[in-house]
């Protein structure tokens, strides 16, 4: 099941049932982008930024494979595999 999503800065997406949420946090520099991994448990939540080089296309977050199709300072397009 491949699904392509586009996230603007601050938008979040639930990876799969039983998995974490992600949000796009923009680009910290010209060559680095950031995805926030968000884990919730009841009323508690934890999140952390993951930083990747702009040229990186294959990313795995919480056991879910993601293919980065395009990244700009304003948005990211990701194919969830």
Across the range 56-74, mean pLDDT stands at 96
* pLDDT over 90 (residue 1): no
Q: What is the pLDDT of residue 42?
A: 85
In whole angstroms, give the CA distance from residue 31 to residue 73: 10
Residue bearing the bigger pLDDT, 2 or 39: 39
Question: Which residue matches tokens 């939540």?
Answer: 45
Q: Against a cut of 0.75, is the pTM above it? A: yes
What digits encode the pLDDT tens for the residues 7-58?
999 999 999 988 999 999 999 999 999 999 999 888 999 999 999 999 999 9
Across the range 60-78, mean pLDDT stands at 96
């Amino acid at each position: 099941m491949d699904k392509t999503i586009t996230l603007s800065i601050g938008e979040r997406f639930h990876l799969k049932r039983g998995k974490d949420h992600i949000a796009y946090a923009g680009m910290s520099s010209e060559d680095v982008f950031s995805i926030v991994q968000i884990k919730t448990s009841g009323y508690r939540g934890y999140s952390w930024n993951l930083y990747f080089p702009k040229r990186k296309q294959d990313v795995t977050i919480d056991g879910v494979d993601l293919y980065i199709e395009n990244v700009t300072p304003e948005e990211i397009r990701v194919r969830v595999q």
